[in-house]
Amino acid sequence: MQAEEAWGERWVFNTLPMARTYMEVACRKQSLVCLAADRSTMDGLNELIDQVGPSIAALKTHVDLVDDWTAESWKAFCAKAAAADLLIFEDRKFADIGGISRKQMAGVYDIRSWSDLVTAHLISGPDIVDGLQAGWHDVGREGGVLLLAQMSSRGNLLEPEYTDKVVAKGKDHAGVFGFIGNGSRPEELALLRAKVGEGKLIWTPGVNLAVGDGEMGQRYGDPTEAIMAGSDCIIVGSGIHKADDPASQAQAYARASWDAFVSR
C-alpha cells in the first residue's frame, strides 16, 4: 500500500521529512512496531537485528546502557540497522535547556550523527526542540523529536494538565515528529489523540501481547487496542527481546499492529 493513501490525514498534515520516512517504512514492512532494544551488549543488540529486523520499522536504543560500547561497534550496528530498513530512535529523554541539549547531541555518543529520532521532556520549555534540531543540523542531518506527553509507569507525574500543555506547545512545532503516549491505557490514549488531532504521530510504549503489570511499575496494554485508540507505532521491548523466539514474537506484534492499522 502507498504511504500517502494508507496514512491519509497524518501524511497530509505531518510534513516533517522524518515523519514521512517513518510512514513509508511502516508501509514497506507492514509493521507499526518499534523494538525497544534494551540489551546491554553489542552482540545482544546485533543478534536482535538479525532476528527481528524484517518485522519492525524502528529500533529504539538506550545507548548509555550498553556495557561494551565503542564508537566503531556502534557505527557498525547503525549500518546494520540501516541495511535492515530501520529508523534509529535514541530514547535519551533530553530535558535540559535548548543550548545544552544541542551540545548533548554531540559528546562521546554523538547522538546527532546516527539517530533519526530522539525523545525529550518539555519540562524546560519548547526551546529544547530547537536545540535538538540544531544538533542534527550541525552535522547536516534531519531528525524528529518525540515529546513525552504521557508515560506508562505507575505514579508518573505527567498529569492531564501537563499533557495538555505539552500537546499545545508541541503540536504546531515543525521540529516535533510526535508524542509518546501511554500504550497501557487505551482510554487515555484516545483522549490524547483527540487533543493532538490528525497531524502528529503518537508512539506508545507499555504494550505487550500479555497485558498486566511488568517489572518495577511498568504497565502493559494490548497492541491492537493501542493502535485502535490512535497510536501510530507500538514500542515493544521485553515482549520481543526476552521471548524464547524473538523472531516469531516480532512477527506476531507486526501482524497485530498492521491489521489494526488497516482496519482503523
Grid-cell match 512477527, residue found:
251
- Minimum Å distance from CB 54 to ligand S5P? 20
Nearer of residues 98 and 206 to ligand S5P, judged by Cβ: 206
Q: How far is it, in rounded angstroms, from Cα 20 to Cα 183? A: 22
Nearer of residues 38 and 232 to ligand S5P, judged by Cβ: 38
Q: How far is it, in rounded angstroms, from Cα 72 to Cα 125? A: 35
Nearer of residues 26 and 118 to ligand S5P, judged by Cβ: 118
Nearer of residues 14 and 249 to ligand S5P, judged by Cβ: 249
**Of the residues 80, 93, 169, 195, which is catalytic?**
93
- Minimum Å distance from CB 242 to ligand S5P? 7
Grid-cell match 525529550, residue found:
120
Nearer of residues 11 and 203 to ligand S5P, judged by Cβ: 203
- Minimum Å distance from CB 231 to ligand S5P? 13
- Minimum Å distance from CB 40 to ligand S5P? 12
Listing DSSP states for 104-155 in one string gives: HTSTTTTGGGT-SEEEE--TT-THHHHHHHHHHHHTT---EEEEES--SSTT
- Minimum Å distance from CB 93 to ligand S5P? 7
Angle between helices 42-52 and 246-263 (to 10 degrees): 50
Determine the residue with CB nearest ligand S5P: 237
* Count of H-run helices and E-run strands, the chain: 12, 10
Phi/psi-derived region of residue 155, left when phi > 0, alpha when psi is between -120 and 50, beta in every other case: left
Residue 80 known to be catalytic? no
- Minimum Å distance from CB 237 to ligand S5P? 3
Buried b (16+ CB within 10 A) or exposed e, 197-223: eebbbbbbbbbbbeeeebeeebbbbbb
- The residue count of the chain comes to 264
Nearer of residues 37 and 42 to ligand S5P, judged by Cβ: 37
Distances (CA, A) of 126 to 134, 172, 262: 13, 11, 34
Residue ranges that bind ligand S5P, judged by CB under 6 A: 36, 38, 91, 119, 151-153, 180, 205-206, 214, 218, 235-239
Side-chain-side CA neighbours of 226 within 13 Å: the count stands at 32
- Active-site positions? 93
